[in-house]
């Protein structure tokens, strides 16, 4: 059971690994890179929930923690093995759910029309809220962004 206390902090660290999805957040690789920008008008805005695509780390850490904790159950070789298997399965489920909850973020989906008539949808974080009808710039990149146009 005391081994669980070595693995549990790793699960808690996953929460601090949530990707930054705001329009003001840039990765090192995108700094200095030119991106096409298009003046546009926001047609609609809606709140969305952004979830992780990959919960493998939480599933794996939860499985290890559950296996370690489960292996301490009972007396004898077979009960330790069954406890480890059951604990690993439960830990994997709990780790997956925990990472999904820790990685969830709120965001906005913007539907915009560029001045040349093209319509785009961009989802980003909540750091900059622009309203329907507002003039903006669509910065086309990876990730694309909608920012106020001053």
Q: What is the pLDDT of residues 27-38, one digit of tens each?
A: 656 566 777 889
Per the CB < 8 A criterion, the answer to whether 104 and 51 are in contact is yes
Looking only at the bridges linking them, the beta strands covering 105-114 and 135-140 are unpaired
Domain boundaries defined on the chain: 4-17+27-148
What are residue 48's DSSP bridge partners?
107
Confidence band of 114 (pLDDT split at 50, 70, 90): very high
Higher pLDDT, 150 or 103: 150
pLDDT at 12 > cutoff 70: no
Q: What is the pLDDT of residues 49-107, one digit of tens each?
A: 877 665 566 567 766 676 666 667 767 776 666 777 677 777 777 766 666 656 667 88
Looking only at the bridges linking them, the beta strands covering 145-148 and 135-140 are antiparallel
Per the CB < 8 A criterion, the answer to whether 57 and 37 are in contact is no
Higher pLDDT, 52 or 12: 52
């Amino acid at each position: 059971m005391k081994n669980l206390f070595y693995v549990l902090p790793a699960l808690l660290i996953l929460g601090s690994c949530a990707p930054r999805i705001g329009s003001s957040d840039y990765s090192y690789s995108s700094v200095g890179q030119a991106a096409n920008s298009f003046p546009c008008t926001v047609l609609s805005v809606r709140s969305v929930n952004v979830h992780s695509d990959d919960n493998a780390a939480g599933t794996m850490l939860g499985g290890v923690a559950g296996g370690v904790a489960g292996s301490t159950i009972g007396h004898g070789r077979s009960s330790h093995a069954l406890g480890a298997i059951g604990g690993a399965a439960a830990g994997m489920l709990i780790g997956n759910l925990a990472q999904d909850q820790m990685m969830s973020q709120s965001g906005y989906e913007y539907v915009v029309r560029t001045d040349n008539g093209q319509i785009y949808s961009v989802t980003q974080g909540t750091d900059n809220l622009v309203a329907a009808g507002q003039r903006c710039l669509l910065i086309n990149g990876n990730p694309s962004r909608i920012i106020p146009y001053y």
